[in-house]
């Protein structure tokens, strides 16, 4: 099996430095005597300028930071591989990583939030970046997508406006990593093209349980191009094999304090454990002849193609199987660009995509300090690189050629373009699209409908998803100070759906204006997370609440079933070390229920008197989590005063063991029908 992954690995290995058994040196390789005391004139005297080790060490420290990304500053990355399934796509594309099932293409994926700075919390309401660099034999291909299939704006020229509006406000730099503030909603009310994406942003998609449990989308319509030069429009989708699952809002707010690294830690730990995250690549293919068959424009990035109209064809699998060794060198220095495409893939005229093609290259120049950033190990292609581009900051290559121009005779015309060599195999050739038009600053009327797909999204939601969307609008607009902005947003919502607008308006104490558009009633089941697979408990984290009174024997049958199905159990007890016949992983008071997916109560009474334990269980209940009590654990359940309802398991039933019932309750993910203290999960 051809494995380009080995090639990328070998390439990266050349740059890895182990410090094991080494001696301290300066950057010039001179061995250092002492790095704790600067050179001074006498023990109590001034420091001497000639202390080159001191100056170098401080100079390097002073220059450690590079500018963070303007957007998507906070992220986490991992290496992996992509392999296309049997059933070649050669009919549609010459991209060999999409055609040859024997090829294992190495990848690096970086997930991110959009609005926050590098140090912000992971679990904020935001879109998530899902950027994949494929190191293909034909060059690097970057699919720079998000976990939502549409975008806020239609034209890249609006990107600075949108980003400025969502970022902290300019006068006081508040709030960090939040969309709940005046400037964003002011932008939204004036740019109704953002409404469809705002529906996604107010939905649970914006608070994923895990990067491993979220979908990814290329967003734009791209083009596949085959050997005959025929184009086919394509939308790219990533589908997680673990299903698409989210946190609940109240939980999100608490995780931010308990573990601001929640999502990146989850990714890291899963890979370390060998539970490799996987996504299937799905394509929606549209023949060029069908370009105008839809009631929206394929070039409009605020629209999706409903899967019921163009089904997804699952074509391959992405697996992430290795963590980076150095965050800065790999995850921070990786540079994506939508213009990094390979033969067989091409752009469409989507004005958002066209603008991105400029922005990504441009931003790396300032972020990574010059034009040689493609030579940084994480960015290097496995495909050979030969050209006459030269010099610039941090040039790593020592080009031996006597020429750096083309054509030349001195170097035999090399490196030679295909037009001169006549060797066209594997050469990138732009899709020959006929273009004809006047130079105008104008959008096509086919981009004008900003409500229909927002309505489609709303209509496709289950009742609990709708509840969460309404609550999100109320929360966000509740943080907006200017009443006129709230009123304008509600006036837009009424065009999406009257009931949605009415429920949001009620929370804000506003009147609902009359709608000029009636709900079209169409829906797309594929858009609802309620229809996502919920049949596995693999990698779910289960808190086992135990004490010295807990008997391991009582617990074992349930724990074995959970761990046998890939769940991760952690024992929480009043103290670390040995508790009864168990080993505690963590002190209960140092843990929080929001960091777990389910709770197993295994204590015979001592914990029932602990306010922390009772709060732990009640909070897990409030967040819709499965709770199971083995034998005496029931006392804690009773102390928490929880009703006997879905997902709360205290005994076997006819035909089903406690463990089986608990597994099913965890696999459901969350029991959204519960209501505690008046707050529905
Ligand atoms: Fe962007 C980063 C995704 C529109 C300009 N973008 C960035 C990243 C992702 C996206 C995932 C982080 C990549 C990484 O991990 O390093 N961006 C999107 C999607 C968009 C989109 C899915 C719409 C469909 N972006 C967009 C527009 C522009 C930019 C319209 C500018 C005109 N994006 C950038 C950027 C960033 C970036 C400023 C910041 C850091 C970087 O590129 O490398 O150039």
Give the pLDDT score at 4.
59
- The bridge status of strand 577-579 relative to strand 568-573 is unpaired
Q: Dump pLDDT digits (tens) for 640-674.
A: 998 888 899 987 676 788 999 999 999 999 999 88
Give the distance (Å) from ligand 1 centre to CA of residue 78: 18
Contact 392, 364 (CB under 8 A): no
Q: Which atom of ligand 1 is nearest to the CA of 362?
A: 44
- Closest residue to atom 37 of ligand 1, CA basis: 71
Give the distance (Å) from ligand 1 centre to CA of residue 184: 18
Query: Could you tell me the end-to-end alpha-carbon distance of the chain, in angstroms, rounded to an integer?
Result: 48
Q: Compute CA distances 677 → 228, 610, 643, 680, 681, whole Å.
A: 64, 20, 12, 8, 11
| Alpha-carbon span 237 to 33, nearest angstrom | 56
Q: Dump pLDDT digits (tens) for 386-398.
A: 999 999 999 999 9
Identify the band that residue 633 occupies on the pLDDT scale cut at 50, 70 and 90.
confident
Final residue belonging to a domain, choices 358, 379, 400: 379
Residue 19 lies in a domain: no
Q: How many domains does the chain have?
A: 3
Query: Average pLDDT, stretch 23-36?
Result: 96
Rg of the Cα trace of the chain? 28
- Cis previous bond, 60, omega within 30: no
Whether residue 92 has pLDDT greater than 90: yes
Catalytic residue among 53, 92, 140, 146: 146
3-state SS of 499-559? HHHHHHHHHHCCCCCCCCCCCCCCCCHHHCHHHCCCCCCCCCEEEEECCCCCCHHHHHHHH
Active-site annotation holds for 146: yes
Residue 426 lies in a domain: no
- Ligand 1, from 66, 68, 70, 71: best to mutate by most atoms within 8 Å of Cβ? 71
Give the pLDDT score at 5.
63
Cross-strand partners of 231: 225
Q: Which atom of ligand 1 is nearest to the CA of 352?
A: 30
Identify the band that residue 6 occupies on the pLDDT scale cut at 50, 70 and 90.
confident
CA-based nearest residue to 624, from 202, 251, 126: 251
- Ligand 1, from 356, 368, 379: best to mutate by most atoms within 8 Å of Cβ? 356
Whether residue 140 has pLDDT greater than 50: yes
| Alpha-carbon span 599 to 621, nearest angstrom | 9
* Exposure string for 548-568, b = 16+ CB within 10 A, e = fewer: bebbeebbeebbebbeeeebb
| Residues 350 and 455 both lie in one domain | no
| Residues 181 and 44 both lie in one domain | yes
Whether residue 2 has pLDDT greater than 70: no
Write down the H helix ranges in 301-429.
327, 351-367, 418-421
Catalytic residue among 72, 220, 245, 669: 72
Residue 468 lies in a domain: yes
| Residues 84 and 160 both lie in one domain | yes
Give the pLDDT score at 93.
98
| Residues 139 and 235 both lie in one domain | yes
| Alpha-carbon span 173 to 627, nearest angstrom | 41
Final residue belonging to a domain, choices 497, 531, 565: 531
Number of other residues whose CB lies within 10 A of the CB of residue 220:
26
Ligand 1, CB cutoff 6 Å, lining residues: 69-72, 75, 110, 112, 129, 131, 144-146, 151, 156, 159, 219-220, 301, 334, 336, 352, 355-356, 359-360, 363
Residue 10 lies in a domain: no
CA-based nearest residue to 140, from 310, 351, 373: 373
Length of the chain: 681
Final residue belonging to a domain, choices 364, 379, 394: 379
Q: 579: part of which helix (H) or strand (E)?
A: strand 577-579
Give the distance (Å) from ligand 1 centre to CA of residue 536: 33
**Lowest mean per-residue pLDDT among 260-274, 277-291, 357-371, 542-556:** 542-556
Q: Could you tell me the residue range of the domain that residue 507 belongs to?
A: 451-531
- Ligand 1, from 167, 359, 362: best to mutate by most atoms within 8 Å of Cβ? 359
Active-site annotation holds for 72: yes
Long-range contacts of 426-435 (CB under 8 A, 24+ apart): 426/96, 426/138, 426/343, 427/343, 428/138, 428/139, 428/341, 428/342, 428/343, 429/229, 429/343, 430/346, 431/223, 431/225, 431/229, 431/231, 431/346, 432/229, 433/231, 433/349, 435/349
Q: Dump pLDDT digits (tens) for 178-204.
A: 999 999 999 999 999 999 999 999 999
For residue 326, give the CATH number of its domain. Answer: 2.40.180.10
Query: Average pLDDT, stretch 355-372?
Result: 97
Give the distance (Å) from ligand 1 centre to CA of residue 362: 11
Q: Dump pLDDT digits (tens) for 575-628.
A: 999 998 899 999 999 999 999 999 999 986 789 999 999 999 999 999 999 999
| Residues 569 and 652 both lie in one domain | yes
Give the distance (Å) from ligand 1 centre to CA of residue 211: 18
Q: Which atom of ligand 1 is nearest to the CA of 110?
A: 15
| Residues 311 and 281 both lie in one domain | yes
Give the distance (Å) from ligand 1 centre to CA of residue 147: 13
Q: Which atom of ligand 1 is nearest to the CA of 157?
A: 32
For residue 609, give the CATH number of its domain. Answer: 3.40.50.880
Phi, psi of 466 (to 5 degrees): -65, -45
| Residues 509 and 585 both lie in one domain | no
Q: Dump pLDDT digits (tens) for 514-563.
A: 878 899 999 999 999 999 988 899 999 999 999 988 888 889 999 999 99
* Exposure string for 132-143, b = 16+ CB within 10 A, e = fewer: bbbbbbbbbbbb
Contact 318, 278 (CB under 8 A): yes
Q: Which two tokens stand for residue 467?
A: 């509840």
Identify the band that residue 494 occupies on the pLDDT scale cut at 50, 70 and 90.
very high
**Sheet of strand 598-601: strand arrangement:** 586-587, 568-573, 541-545, 598-601, 626-629, 648-649
| Residues 472 and 563 both lie in one domain | no
Q: What is the DSSP letter of 148?
A: S
Q: What is the DSSP letter of 332?
A: I
| Residues 473 and 597 both lie in one domain | no
| Alpha-carbon span 147 to 128, nearest angstrom | 5
Residue 27 lies in a domain: no
- Closest residue to atom 40 of ligand 1, CA basis: 69
Q: Compute CA distances 50 → 32, 39, 108, 260, 530, whole Å.
A: 14, 8, 44, 43, 68
Phi, psi of 232 (to 5 degrees): -135, 130
| Residues 549 and 517 both lie in one domain | no
Contacts of 475 (CB under 8 A, 6+ apart): 180, 249
Give the pLDDT score at 1.
47
Residue 553 lies in a domain: yes
Average of per-residue pLDDT values in the chain: 95
| Alpha-carbon span 300 to 193, nearest angstrom | 10
Q: What is the DSSP letter of 393?
A: T
Residue 660 lies in a domain: yes
| Residues 501 and 556 both lie in one domain | no
Give the distance (Å) from ligand 1 centre to CA of residue 334: 13
| Alpha-carbon span 473 to 501, nearest angstrom | 10
Q: Which residue has the tokens 């759906």?
A: 497
Residue 611 lies in a domain: yes
- Closest residue to atom 9 of ligand 1, CA basis: 129
Angle of the 483-496 helix axis to the 452-460 helix axis, nearest 10? 80
Q: Which residue has the tokens 């609802």?
A: 528
| Residues 287 and 238 both lie in one domain | yes
């Amino acid at each position: 099996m051809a494995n380009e992954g080995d090639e990328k690995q070998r390439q990266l290995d050349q740059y890895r430095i182990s410090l094991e058994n080494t001696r301290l040196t300066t950057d010039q390789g001179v061995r250092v005597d002492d790095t704790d005391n600067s050179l001074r004139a006498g023990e109590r005297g001034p420091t001497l300028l000639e202390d080159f080790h001191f100056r170098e060490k401080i100079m390097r420290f002073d220059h450690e930071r590079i500018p963070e990304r303007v957007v998507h500053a906070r992220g986490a990355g991992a290496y992996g591989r992509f392999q296309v399934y049997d059933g070649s796509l050669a009919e549609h594309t010459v991209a060999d990583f999409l055609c040859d099932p024997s090829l294992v293409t190495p990848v690096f994926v970086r997930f991110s939030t959009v609005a926050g700075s590098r140090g912000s919390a992971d679990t904020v309401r935001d879109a998530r970046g899902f950027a994949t660099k494929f190191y293909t034999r034909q060059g690097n291909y970057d699919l720079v997508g998000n976990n939502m299939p549409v975008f806020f704006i239609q034209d890249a020229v609006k990107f600075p406006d949108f980003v400025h509006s969502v970022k902290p406000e300019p006068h006081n730099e508040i709030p960090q990593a939040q969309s709940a503030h005046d400037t964003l909603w002011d932008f939204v009310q004036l740019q109704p093209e953002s409404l469809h994406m705002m529906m996604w942003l107010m939905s649970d998609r914006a608070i994923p349980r895990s990067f491993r449990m979220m979908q990814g989308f290329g967003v734009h319509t791209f083009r596949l191009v085959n050997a005959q030069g025929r184009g086919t429009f394509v939308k790219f989708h990533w589908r997680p094999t673990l299903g698409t699952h989210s946190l609940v809002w109240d939980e999100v707010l608490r995780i931010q304090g308990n573990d601001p690294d929640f999502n990146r830690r989850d990714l890291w730990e899963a890979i370390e454990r060998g539970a490799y995250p996987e996504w299937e690549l799905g394509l929606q293919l549209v023949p060029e002849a069908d370009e105008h068959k839809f009631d929206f424009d394929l070039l409009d990035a605020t629209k999706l193609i409903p899967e019921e109209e163009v089904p997804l064809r699952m074509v391959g699998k992405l697996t992430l199987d290795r963590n980076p060794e150095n965050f800065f060198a790999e995850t921070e220095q990786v540079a994506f660009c939508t213009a990094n495409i390979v033969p067989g893939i091409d752009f469409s005229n989507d004005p958002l995509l066209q603008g991105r093609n400029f922005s990504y290259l441009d931003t790396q120049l300032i972020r990574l300090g010059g034009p040689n950033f493609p030579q940084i190990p994480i960015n290097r292609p496995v495909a050979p690189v030969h050209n006459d581009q030269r010099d610039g900051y941090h040039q790593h290559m020592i080009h031996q050629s006597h020429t750096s121009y083309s054509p030349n005779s001195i170097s035999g015309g090399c490196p030679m373009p295909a037009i001169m060599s006549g060797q066209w195999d594997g050469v990138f050739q732009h899709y020959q699209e006929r273009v004809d038009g006047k130079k105008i600053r104008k959008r096509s009327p086919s981009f004008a409908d900003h409500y229909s797909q927002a309505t489609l999204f709303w209509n496709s939601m289950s009742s609990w998803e709708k509840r969460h969307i309404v609550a999100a609008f109320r929360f966000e607009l509740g943080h907006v100070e200017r009443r006129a902005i709230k009123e304008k947003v509600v006036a837009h919502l009424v065009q999406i759906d009257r009931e949605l607008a009415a429920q949001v308006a009620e929370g804000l104490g506003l009147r609902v204006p009359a709608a000029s558009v009636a709900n079209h009633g169409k829906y797309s089941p594929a858009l609802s997370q309620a229809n996502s697979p919920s049949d596995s408990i693999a990698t779910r984290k289960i808190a086992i609440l135990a004490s010295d009174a807990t008997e391991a024997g009582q617990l074992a049958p349930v724990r074995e079933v959970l761990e046998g199905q890939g769940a991760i159990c952690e024992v929480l007890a009043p103290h670390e070390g040995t508790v009864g016949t168990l080993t505690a992983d963590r002190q209960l008071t140092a843990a929080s229920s929001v960091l777990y997916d389910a709770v197993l109560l295994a204590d015979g009474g001592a914990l029932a008197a602990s306010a922390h334990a009772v709060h732990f269980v009640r909070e897990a209940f409030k967040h819709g989590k499965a709770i199971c009590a083995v034998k005496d654990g029931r006392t804690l359940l009773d102390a928490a005063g929880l009703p006997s309802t879905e997902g709360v398991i205290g005994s076997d039933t006819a035909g089903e063991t406690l463990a089986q019932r608990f597994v099913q309750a965890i696999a459901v993910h969350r029991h959204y029908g519960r209501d505690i203290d008046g707050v529905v999960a």
